Amino acid sequence: MFTDEAEFHVKAGKGGDGMVSFRREKYVPFGGPDGGDGGVGGSVILKVKTSLRTLSHVRSKRIFKAEPGNDGGKQNKTGRDGNNCIIKVPLGTIIKDKETGEILGDLSHEDDEIIVARGGRGGKGNTHFMSATNQAPKYAQLGKAGEESDLYLELKLIADIGLVGFPNAGKSTLLSRLSNAHPKIGNYPFTTLYPNLGVAYAGDYDSFIIADIPGIIEGAHNGLGLGIRFLKHIERTKGLLFMIDIFEEEPFKQFELLINELKNYNIKMLEKPHYIALNKIDLFANEDRKEKLNNFFVKYKSSTLYNPDYYNISLISAATGEGLDELKKMLYDLIKSDLKEINKLSLT
């Protein structure tokens, strides 16, 4: 099950207590202090695991605890430190304080990790408190309590290209054609109920990641349909590919509605370069295809949405594979370009 949100409590381990102990030696008051220090409590750490794609494995657990440190021992022996509690999360996980909403961390790189609750310091043994006036201290420090807090985790998938379109536009079919993904495909609304990621290969060594976002409908930014739940997953993409069903009436109207939903959700979305794929051309003869493309382009160029730096229109058939090689090359060239430093866009 795909889960992109999770809440839980984290509690670091308490530090071990210092020891009150005395050596047994003749002519030394009380044998002399030899109480050891307590060990440091374990911390709670969130760490990226690139093979994970969901937060479902942590959503069912309400509390994560690290081990406490062991108490100090005799003969100045320090107690063992508590083991850390390491929570593996997907790439793209944002950690927030549940109460304040403050962003504590954004794990957007493969080796990222963050300590969300630090273990308590171990207490000092009575050896540390010996002085000229107190040769036999009978007290030691207690270990400090570990940090604890309530966290809210939000996953924003990291992909190079985000597929945007209405239900049944052909996004899942396209993803299965361009990549190694095998999404569920069917002829009914909301076939895709959660985002799918696929790796598209360009040549022998190069590749890029495509995210198929569940179908958007008008009013999605207000929670209609699958709502804004999945719009966040295209915030981090370098570019967008709008899938338009050319077989439907008024294809350009579809594009306008999709742009409007993105704009109302996060206006910075429109800063991303976008390509447009007019799908299902296999249902038309060549002359009809040209007419459809020409009508779409005329309306697009005369609209306020037109930006010559940020568009390209392709005629494709996700079902038959027509035009997909050219589209893949176009998308690959896009993510490798430095077009207005698109790879530096940050929408978090």
State the pLDDT confidence band at 194, using cuts at 50, 70 and 90: low
Residues 172 and 74 in one domain: no
Residues 23 and 81 in one domain: yes
Residues 286 and 266 in one domain: yes
Residues 187 and 38 in one domain: no
Strands (E), the chain: 5-11, 44-48, 63-65, 85-89, 93-97, 103-107, 113-117, 148-155, 161-165, 196-202, 206-212, 239-245, 274-279, 313-315
Mean pLDDT, rounded, for 314-325: 91
Domain end (from 155, 182, 202): 155
Domain end (from 155, 188, 211): 155
State the pLDDT confidence band at 41, using cuts at 50, 70 and 90: very high
- DSSP-derived secondary structure letter, 337: S
Residues 253 and 182 in one domain: yes
Instruction: List pLDDT tens digits, range 266-280.
Output: 888 878 888 899 999
Q: Which amino acid does the sequence have at 154? A: E
Q: For residues 68 and 300, what is the distance between their CA atoms, to the nearest angstrom?
A: 63
Residues 296 and 321 in one domain: yes
Question: Domain holding 217: CATH number?
Answer: 3.40.50.300
- Per-residue buried b or exposed e for 275-312, using 16+ beta carbons within 10 Å of the residue's own CB: bbbbbbbeebeeeebeebbeebbebbeeeebeeeebbb
Residues 192 and 109 in one domain: no
Domain end (from 132, 155, 178): 155
The pLDDT value recorded for residue 188 is 46
Residues 53 and 102 in one domain: yes
Residues 17 and 32 in one domain: yes
Question: Domain holding 141: CATH number?
Answer: 2.70.210.12
Residues 227 and 294 in one domain: yes
The pLDDT value recorded for residue 190 is 45
| Total domains, the chain | 2
> Can you give the residue range of the structural domain that contains 45?
5-155
Determine how many CB atoms are found less than 10 A away from the CB of residue 180: 12
Q: What is the pTM of this model?
A: 0.70
Instruction: List pLDDT tens digits, range 50-74.
Output: 888 788 889 889 999 999 999 999 9
Residues 147 and 174 in one domain: no
